[in-house]
A = this chain, B = another copy of it.
Amino acid sequence: MAAAAVAPAAKLEDADALIDSVETFIFDCDGVIWKGDKLIDGVPETLDLLRSKGKRLVFVTNNSTKSRKQYGKKFETLGLNIDEEEIFASSFAAAAYLQSIDFPKDKKVYVIGEEGILKELELAGFQHLGGPTDGDKKIELKPGFYMEHDKDVGAVVVGFDRYFNYYKVQYGTLCIRENPGCLFIATNRDAVTHLTDAQEWAGGGSMVGAILGSTKQEPVVVGKPSTFMMDYLAKKFGITTSQICMVGDRLDTDILFGQNGGCKTLLVLSGVTSLQTLQSPDNSIQPDFYTNQISDFLTLKAATV
């Protein structure tokens, strides 16, 4: 397939110019800040540099299994001092989305997903059911068996779930199909996730795909590459998205997310995307800039300066 005619990404040469041109940096985490449980070289110094220049830093992740607080601990373990308020996980995005639409507090949320989503819903004051506790439930079939479901469920939130089963699929499907106006919200539709570093693992796209397959309804996606988080950030901090630079290692989530939101975009080659993939004629997603890793900010100065 031929690529659409888009300008090819430029190799980052003048980091200061890029830094000066924006007010906020949004970083994807895996492949940018860390790889698995290992911090990428030069990250602490790079973040310090950006903070010293007065830049706002935001960390986004499509992983919904942890809450913001739990992510904060991961940063801490790696020796990074990041405020909880600077972290935007898709678990938080699901709760923030419900708040943004004034989802009624007397309605409930059915969760297909892990603990992060439950914790964020709790913090936002939403009633929820499902989640890990439904992981061991089985449907004992008898002739004429009827599965009850809660008629007060007004939203089904679906994220990555290692304890995914048919009970959850049927429960979520019943809510979406039979409760009038029930929402179908996906934290993300990623094909793969990094459960361990040893291989790629089927991601949240599987759980979302299962519910789509039985409801034939498209979900509202709150994680990357949907622009919900970007719009939320822009509103929260009172900035325009053109003042944001999105930094990530994935073309079809991070860079697309930045472009969908109207941000500047920087691809780092420290994660899953190689220079060869970026420059392949099959790739139609071109960031504004690319560089090896974010610590290049420390060394790349304009040749003319």
Contact = CB atoms under 8 A, between A and B. Distances in A.
Interface stretch (A16-24, A122-130, A187-195, A258-266): A187-195
Interface residues of A, number: 46
Interface in A172-191: 173-174, 177, 189, 191
A251 to B, nearest CB: 14
Interface stretch (A27-35, A70-78, A207-215, A224-232): A207-215
Given A141-B195, A145-B196, A165-B164, A170 B213 contact: no
Interface stretch (A1-9, A102-110, A198-206): A198-206
B189 A202 contact: no
Interface centre among A147, A164, A207, A209 (most CB of B within 10 A): A209
> What is the count of identical protomers in the complex?
2
B162 A166 contact: yes
Given A163-B166, A164-B165, A214 B192 contact: yes
Given A145-B198, A164-B169, A202-B213, 15 more contacts: A141-B162, A145-B195, A147-B199, A162-B166, A166-B206, A169-B202, A173-B206, A174-B199, A191-B214, A191-B215, A204-B213, A206-B213, A207-B213, A209-B213, A212-B213
18 contacts: A139-B195, A141-B196, A144-B196, A144-B197, A145-B196, A164-B165, A164-B166, A165-B165, A169-B202, A169-B206, A173-B206, A177-B200, A189-B213, A202-B214, A204-B213, A205-B214, A208-B213, A209-B211
3 nearest A-B pairs in the assembled complex, by CB-CB distance: A209-B213, A205-B213, A202-B214
